[in-house]
Amino acid sequence: MRQTQPAFHREQPGISIPRNSLWIALLWFVALSWSLIGAPPNGQTLPPSVENAHTFEQATLDGSRLALADLRGRWVVVNFWATWCLPCREEMAFLQELAVENPEKLVVLGVNMRESPEDVRAFLADTGVSFPILLDPDDGTLLAYDVRGLPLTAVIGPDGALLERIVGPLDAERFSLDTLLYPSKR
């Protein structure tokens, strides 16, 4: 008598994909889809999630520390970004313009998402960016500001109030320093 393998053990010609790999791929697809659904679309201005901006103190790329509380009395634009984010790369020149346009009244801060200081320095070497870059290795600041997609920019008033959260890259059409500093021009 000849023994045969049960049907589920027969090997078929062609590529064999283990069932575990299919489940893992499906889980990755679901996770990616869920994260994209949770991220707001570019160009959307989100209402602030808190009345006052979350205070933070982070290490800067140059090794010093910077606290948001030290900037009280000035407008603060906090931009959350990463080197791998193409829209983040595109907005860097505009953010630099903002930073140098009226430095006594406005401060631009870049908060880098979980990248090594070496990678950040290498990226910034060609950009001409001179505004402070903060490192957020544990995502504490990103979580405090409810960052779900990059880039995201938080606008903080001189009184420390979180006024706006803007999803997507900033440019002159979407953000004007004059409307912040001179509200009568609105």
- What's the pLDDT tens digit per position in 2-24? 655 555 445 555 555 566 666 56
Q: How many Cα atoms are found within 13 Å in the side-chain-facing hemisphere of 163?
A: 13
Residues 115-140 have pLDDT tens digits of 999 999 999 998 999 999 999 999 99
Residues 164-179 have pLDDT tens digits of 999 999 998 888 877 7
Q: Is residue 20 part of a domain?
A: no
Residues 34-67 have pLDDT tens digits of 444 444 455 555 555 446 788 999 999 999 999 9
| Domains in the chain, number | 1
58 and 111 Cβ atoms separated by less than 8 Å:
yes
Closest CA to 127 of 179, 81, 74: 81
Query: What gap in Å lies between CA 102 and CA 116, rounded to an integer?
Result: 30
Q: Which domain holds residue 138?
A: 42-185
Question: At 101, which CATH number?
Answer: 3.40.30.10
120 and 92 Cβ atoms separated by less than 8 Å:
no
Q: What pTM value is reported for the model?
A: 0.73
